[in-house]
Structure 1
Amino acid sequence: MEKDLQNKEAVKKLKSAAEDIRFCMYTTYKNEKIESRPMTTIQIDEDGNAWFFTSKKTEIGSETNPEEAVTLIYSDPKNNTYLSVSGSAVAVEDQAKKDELWNPMTKAWFPEGKDDPNVVLLKVTTDEAAYWDNTSSQMIVFFSMVKAVLTGTTPDGGDYGKLNLA
């Protein structure tokens, strides 16, 4: 069933889905080519912005242009939850924000710690987002599809909609 969400309700859904799934494909378009790489979401803030750590030694850390268009694609097939976020990215040099977001698991990727001069934050400001969420078990989803095939109807796809954060 289509359920578009607005404002705080939209941010809450975005935050819940993205932080539960945690991993996304961070997708950019450069040189007439779509490029994706896995990234770990550190936080979705109260405005619906996504935060990531990266290194200046990587392409994404060294070549992110201010206001670069990105798409974040989250997928949790086990729980039938999917999220697509479009927005703009910017590299952020803010030690207080690094301190706030740093956690023990982040150290696995950055062994020199949060004070490493190559560690940089990426902030993705969300322009548009959409979700697909079917909280039914995989067995119920399967039977819904079988029923649809046998009856010539469309299976129940669960909840989906746009997330309007403004």
Structure 2
Amino acid sequence: MADKTLADLSKQMGEIDIAMLSTHTAGGEIAGRPMSNNGEVDYDGTSYYFTYEDAHTVGEIEADPKVSLAFMGARGFLVAVEGKARLSRDRAEMKEHWSPDLDQWFKDGIDTPDIVMIQVDATRVHYWDGGDEGEVKL
């Protein structure tokens, strides 16, 4: 078993463009969708994503905040995160986590109507890196 730190994982995760965010649907199924991973931000156990108010994701998080994230990088590097999501509609808070790359999905930036920020606080981080695997304690 490998012995990586959260800082080690952060460096490798910065090279990954997309994370899969999974939530629980009202019917009990698991629904996943791709979310932009901001590689310029050091991962410290908390992730931030943006979506629209009317997205199924928002209602699913309101009903059950337990979520998971999956990251897949190069050369067999994978990270699975279990966490608790929180929704924010506070523009000042969004501004702290905004990246200009997000403008391609939100034409008015953080002023886009009905935008919502999803904050995922990790409770468990498991990784695989080639033949190594491990868990980072939070």
Matched pairs, number? 135
1:29–1:66: structure 2 CA closer, same or farther, 3 Å change rule?
closer
Considering fraction of residues, name the structure with more helix.
Answer: 1
TM-score with structure 1 setting the length: 0.72
Mark the runs of 5 or more structure 2 residues left unpaired by the alignment: none
SS where residue 14 of structure 2 aligns?
helix
Aligned mates of 2:17, 2:95 — CA distance in 1: 19
- Length-normalised TM-score, structure 2: 0.85
CA deviation string 1:23-64 (max 9, x = no partner): 111111221211111111234554x11111111121113442
Q: Deviations over 1:118-154 (max 9, x none)?
A: 11110001000111112xxxxxxxxxxxxxxxxxxxx
Give the aligned residue type for 1:3: A
Q: Label 1:74 to 1:33 Cα distance change in 2 as closer, same or farther (>3 A).
A: same
Identity %: 27
Aligned in 2, Cα 1:97/1:17: closer, same or farther, shift over 3 Å?
farther
- Determine helix, strand or coil for the equivalent of 1:24: strand
Unaligned runs of 5+ in 1: 135-156
Distance in 2 of aligned mates of 1:103 and 1:88: 22
Given that 1:54 and 1:121 are in contact with CA atoms closer than 8 Å, whether structure 2 keeps it comes out as yes
CA RMSD of aligned residues (A): 2.0
1:64 paired residue among 55, 61, 64: 61
Query: Are the counterparts in 2 of residues 29 and 70 from structure 1 also a CA contact under 8 Å?
Result: yes
